[in-house]
Structure 1
Amino acid sequence: MISSDTGTLPGGHPYVSVGSGDRALVVMPGFGDAMFSGSYPPFSGWTLAPYFARYLDEYTVYVLSRPRGLPAGYDEDDAIASHTAAFEAIAGSSNGVDVIGISMGGLIGQALARREPELVDRLVLANTACRLDGDARSTVRRLERFARERDWASIRSELAVAMFSDGRAMAYPLTLQTAGRFVQPRPAVPADVRRSLEFILEFDGCDRLAAIDQPTLVFAGERDPYFTADLARETADGLSNGELEIVSGAKHGAFHERKLTFDSRVRSFLERTAPKALEA
């Protein structure tokens, strides 16, 4: 029977889980995680079950939010300290942990795989790379300004344009800047938004990719303006055991907008790279 749970893991990480599989699949969300309260309502995992249906035969899926109230100067050391505590709790109740790191979550995921390799069996880097593209830095600094002004609608509008290659790139910003301003969720800790953006700007793991030994899939959008196709190639090439999938025409939301493609590619990757203990 599929189960669902919510709560807070060690390190202060809110989470929602769904499934009853022996293995854990930890989904580490992108920057947008800082834009809502981080408190998951009871049984919210049931609403996620259809979204993660392709994985529930084998996994218990955890969506692992970052702590609310990030410290000033939040950096890789801070992220590793809290995520290690959360992952140790998850690993203690599962038969291995695989990770899907999305955007900012992928930056932290690759650092965790490198620095705490016993906690991560396999890694999927979705719409992320070893660093932010140089041409995107001015855009992220503009998002920082919006964060200081607490202009959440403008941040979400820019993200929608960057993420979607279909009509949502036009429809979502229009809605967000009009009636949507009154109903969209507010960050629990506004400073977390700016500190998350600062983390993205400062992170650069390109010269440390070879230290990631785990099988790793880099899944990218051809038109992603933040983590470009070229950066995705550089990331996959620098990994000790990396694979690359670039989705034609897709942008920063390729993992979601092209979800059938994403799920098929991820399942194939996980099945082909199954740990020996699972193959026996």
Structure 2
Amino acid sequence: MGTALTRRFDTGQFDGRIPYVRVGTGPKTLLVIPGVGDAMFDGEYDRTDAVTTAATFRRFLDGYTVYQVSRPRGLEDHQSIAAMARDYEHVLAEHVGSASVLGLSMGGLIAQELARERPDLVDRLALGVSGCRLAGAGRPIVRELHRLALEGEWTEIRARLYEEMFTGPLGRAVPLLSRTVGRVRPPNPADPRDVSISLDAVHDYDGTESLAEIEPRTLVIGGTDDPFFPETILRETHEGLPDSQLAMFTGARHGAFLERKAGFDGWVRRFLEGEAAARVRQR
């Protein structure tokens, strides 16, 4: 790609196995760890993915170079969240340098382990729609998604996730579109086993007892009605951390980072910039 385009974005694989897309050229670094849906794409970021990533994180690009970093394709059987975090530790230590870290959903679980093990590499930590453990109400949903993964029902998994993410008209329209129009371009996991392994890792993770060991200042942010990480889990996570802030969106579900995007991005950016905040519920 041309030099000008390279300055705006870059895609590739760290060490030939860890896919990433980089956007922006800001002086600070933000590492984004995506959720379980990361396992359902082919592992090759292209120009379209870079444009989408730039649009998604446009509010950060004036001050940050943003890396969205995926898990390797072909996860080991029964691979744990802690084991996945070691790949991100390697990325920071060997390729990117210390950074603020935003973990979304499953990515937030990985981010907790990363920050606990290597606080020297994590400037600030933001846990987006994520917490110390999966709520009881979310467990049967994850088990159902796991069953669908074993059957290769990728379009249905995506639609079921959308049902848990959005509210109101979007909560009805987006899953319907995914099951109809979305079948034209279904998810395409490079290694189908990665999906079930990732779901197992989410289901089994419990970082409650390790929260006190997380040193970097942390923002816990999500929706009160998230079936996976609801208000009770967000509060439990916040209260267990040594240095944290809490922001909640009343009535929002697992897609709060999309459906309440302006507020969500605003809170994360202010937190990363060091502005003080107390426990907050944003309506």
What's the TM-score once normalised by structure 1's chain length? 0.92
Whole-angstrom distance in 1 between the partners of 2:220 and 2:133: 13
Show the counterpart of 1:161: 163
User: 1:208 is matched with which residue: 207, 210, 228?
Assistant: 210
Residues 43/89 of structure 1: CA separation in 2 closer, same or farther (3 Å cut): farther
- Give me the whole-angstrom Cα distance separating, in 2, the residues matched to 1:9 and 1:27: 15
How far apart, in 1, do the equivalents of 2:201 and 2:214 lie?
20
Aligned to 1:146: 148
User: 2: CA distance between counterparts of 1:241 and 1:252?
Assistant: 24
Equivalent pair of 1:217/1:269 in contact (CA under 8 Å)? yes
Q: Secondary structure at the match of 1:49?
A: helix
Q: Which residue of 2 aligns with 1:241?
A: 243
Q: CA deviation at 1:43?
A: 6.6
Give the counterpart of 1:40 among 42, 45, 48: 45
Q: 1:182, 1:239 → 2: CA distance?
A: 44
1:268 counterpart SS class: helix
Inter-partner Cα distance in structure 2 for 1:176 and 1:6: 27
Q: Which residue of 2 aligns with 1:58?
A: 63
Which residue does 1:122 correspond to in 2? 124
Give the length in aligned residue pairs: 271
Aligned mates of 2:26, 2:180 — CA distance in 1: 43
Work out the CA distance in 2 between the residues paired with 1:6 and 1:108: 22
Q: Is contact 1:9-1:89 (8 Å) kept?
A: no
Q: State the AA in 1 paired with 2:94.
A: A
Deviation at 1:201, TM superposition (A): 0.7
Distance in 1 separating the partners of 2:99 and 2:16: 17
Contact kept in structure 2, 1:160 and 1:172, CA below 8 Å: yes
CA distance in 2, matches of 1:89, 1:45: 22
| Cα deviations by residue, 1:133-189 (Å, 9 ceiling, x for unpaired) | 012111111111100110112211111110001322111222222342232231111
Residues 81-138 of structure 1 deviation map (CA, whole Å, 9 limit, x = unaligned) = 222111223434xxx4001000000000000000111111100000000000012111
- CA-to-partner distance for each residue in 1:242-278, whole Å, 9 max, x for gaps? 110010111001011111001111111112269xxxx
* Whole-angstrom distance in 1 between the partners of 2:177 and 2:272: 38
1:20-69, Cα deviation, whole Å (9 max, x unpaired): 11221011111111111121014742343232122112110011111111
Task: Determine if contact 1:11/1:81 at 8 Å carries over to the other structure.
Answer: no
**What is the percentage of aligned positions where both structures have the same residue?**
45
C-alpha distance in structure 1 between counterparts of 2:235 and 2:131, whole Å? 9
Q: CA RMSD in A?
A: 1.7
Match in the other structure for 2:77 = 72
Structure 1 residue runs of 5 or longer lacking an equivalent are: 275-280
Indicate if the aligned counterparts of 1:11 and 1:82 stay in contact, CA closer than 8 A: no
Say yes or no: does 1:25 pair with 2:27. Answer: no
Q: Which amino acid counterpart does residue 121 of structure 1 have in structure 2?
A: D
CA drift of 1:215 comes to: 0.7
Q: Residues of 2 paired with 1:165 and 1:89: CA distance?
A: 41
Paired amino acid for 2:162 = A
Q: Aligned-pair distance for 1:13? A: 1.5
Q: Please say if residues 10 and 89 of structure 1, whose CA atoms lie closer than 8 Å, have aligned partners that are also in contact.
A: no
Out of 131, 135, 138, the residue aligned to residue 136 of structure 1 is: 138
Equivalent position of 2:280 in the other structure:
none
Measured after TM superposition, the shift of residue 220 of structure 1 is 1.1
Q: What secondary structure sits across from 2:251 in the alignment?
A: coil
Structure 2 distance, partners of 1:76, 1:176, is: 28
Contact 1:24/1:90, CA 8 A, preserved across alignment: no
2:82/2:113 contact within 8 Å kept? no
| 196-205 vs 165-174, which moves further | 165-174
* Unaligned 5+ runs, structure 2: 277-283
Alignment match, 2:179: 177
Relative distance call for 1:77 and 1:216 in structure 2 (3 A) is closer
Taking the aligned partners of 2:15 and 2:211, their CA distance within structure 1 comes to 27
